[in-house]
């Protein structure tokens, strides 16, 4: 059975399952079902214990039954790692699901939000409370981005950073790339996802992960938006050949991922023949440029204008 036929069959079966599983008392406002945040179990491809990932189901999904929905894969940063069980809520610290679920914004995407394992990294002895959705009253106040006192300057790139040798960061998202692809496929099949409107974005470690997924699976996505992360300059040709739109965001005063390294990625993409390299440098911001990016509308609206090339 080919991929399309398999996906169609899965959707027929999943449609019946969704109809049965959708809560009869699903809250509605103005005739539209309200958003739901699901925990979806999966068995990792490396044979380790079962883990979960979040799937944000947007406003209107259960009432607009004939609609296909765009899908967004969000990859968090290094500080939000966990066991994907009782620590999964820490992925809500930043990003699109925080905006939609915690802050109550109407983002019209099915959003896949997995959690990267700790691997050999030292786990913190204490962590601040994970964000929680308010059950009544207004959403919690946002934490504002930090402004750096560093000057707006460019430095010589110098030697290539250590991560360039292996193409991405150690113990990063590339280690679970097969699981990420399975999450995308399952969401497309089970939740009426639009296969021509699948997007990937991520911050810091997740920015590097976004580049990795774009370079290794460019035909899977309609557009990608890495935030404060760099890509392997040697592997830009697949993105060019797939005509994959890329919008890079970076803080101009970032001491963690220097803007020069991200600029090197953009230049390499342009040198490989990408006709329209899009990069926004927020000169006044530090590493947490993601706060402004995901609080805004521009990246989401840009995603929605992109469809996978035929």
Interatomic CA distance for residues 107 and 116, integer angstroms: 24
Single pTM value for the model: 0.90
The closest alpha carbon to 79, from 142, 122, 30, belongs to 122
pLDDT score, position 87:
96
The arithmetic mean of pLDDT across residues 151-160, rounded, is 67
Neighbours of 162 (CB within 10 A): 9
* DSSP H/E element including 18: helix 3-21
Res. 10: pLDDT tops 60: no
**Domain residue ranges of the chain, discontinuous segments joined by +:** 3-117+160-304
Task: List the structure tokens of 100.
Answer: 């939609």
Q: CA 80 from chain center: how many Å? A: 13
The arithmetic mean of pLDDT across residues 213-230, rounded, is 97
Burial (Cβ within 10 Å: 0-12, 13-18, ≥19) of residue 141: exposed
Interatomic CA distance for residues 95 and 87, integer angstroms: 16
Domain range 3-117+160-304, CATH class: alpha beta
Q: pLDDT for 175-184, tens place per residue? A: 999 999 999 9
- Cβ(203)–Cβ(94) under 8 Å? yes
- Cβ(290)–Cβ(97) under 8 Å? no
Give 226's strand partners. 202
Q: pLDDT for 87-113, tens place per residue? A: 999 999 999 999 999 999 999 999 999
Q: pLDDT for 251-291, tens place per residue? A: 999 989 999 999 999 999 999 999 989 999 999 999 999 99
Q: Which residue has the tokens 């999904």?
A: 61
Task: List the structure tokens of 276.
Answer: 């329209």
CA-to-CA separations, 166 to 62, 209, 229, in angstroms, rounded = 44, 13, 15
At 250 the three-state DSSP class reads strand
Q: pLDDT for 36-46, tens place per residue? A: 999 999 999 99
């Amino acid at each position: 059975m080919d991929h399309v036929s398999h996906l169609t069959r899965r959707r027929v079966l999943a449609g019946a399952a969704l109809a049965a599983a959708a809560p009869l008392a699903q809250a509605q406002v103005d005739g539209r079902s309200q958003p739901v945040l699901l925990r979806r179990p999966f068995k990792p491809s490396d044979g380790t214990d079962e883990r979960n990932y979040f799937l944000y189901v947007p406003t209107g999904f259960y009432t607009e039954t004939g609609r296909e929905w765009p899908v967004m894969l969000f990859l968090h940063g290094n500080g939000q790692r966990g066991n994907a069980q009782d620590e999964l809520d820490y992925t809500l610290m930043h990003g699109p699901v925080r905006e939609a679920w915690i802050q109550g914004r109407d983002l019209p995407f099915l959003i896949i939000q997995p959690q990267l394992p700790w691997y050999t990294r030292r786990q913190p002895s204490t962590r601040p409370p994970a964000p929680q959705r308010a059950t009544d009253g207004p959403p919690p106040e946002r934490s504002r981005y930090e402004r750096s006192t560093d000057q707006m300057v460019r430095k010589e790139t110098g030697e290539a950073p250590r991560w360039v040798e292996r193409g991405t960061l150690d113990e990063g998202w590339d280690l679970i790339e097969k699981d990420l692809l399975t999450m995308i496929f399952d969401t497309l099949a089970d939740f009426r996802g639009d296969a021509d409107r699948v997007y990937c974005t991520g911050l810091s470690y997740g920015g590097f992960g976004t580049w990795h997924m774009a370079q290794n699976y460019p035909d899977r996505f309609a557009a990608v938006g890495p935030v404060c992360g760099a890509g392997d300059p040697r592997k830009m040709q697949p993105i060019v050949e797939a005509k994959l739109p890329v919008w890079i965001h970076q803080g101009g005063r970032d001491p963690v991922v220097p803007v020069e390294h991200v600029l090197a990625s953009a230049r390499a993409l342009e040198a490989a023949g990408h006709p329209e390299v899009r990069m926004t440098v927020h000169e006044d911001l530090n590493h947490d440029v993601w706060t402004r990016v995901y609080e805004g509308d521009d990246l989401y609206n840009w995603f929605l204008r992109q469809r996978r090339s035929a």
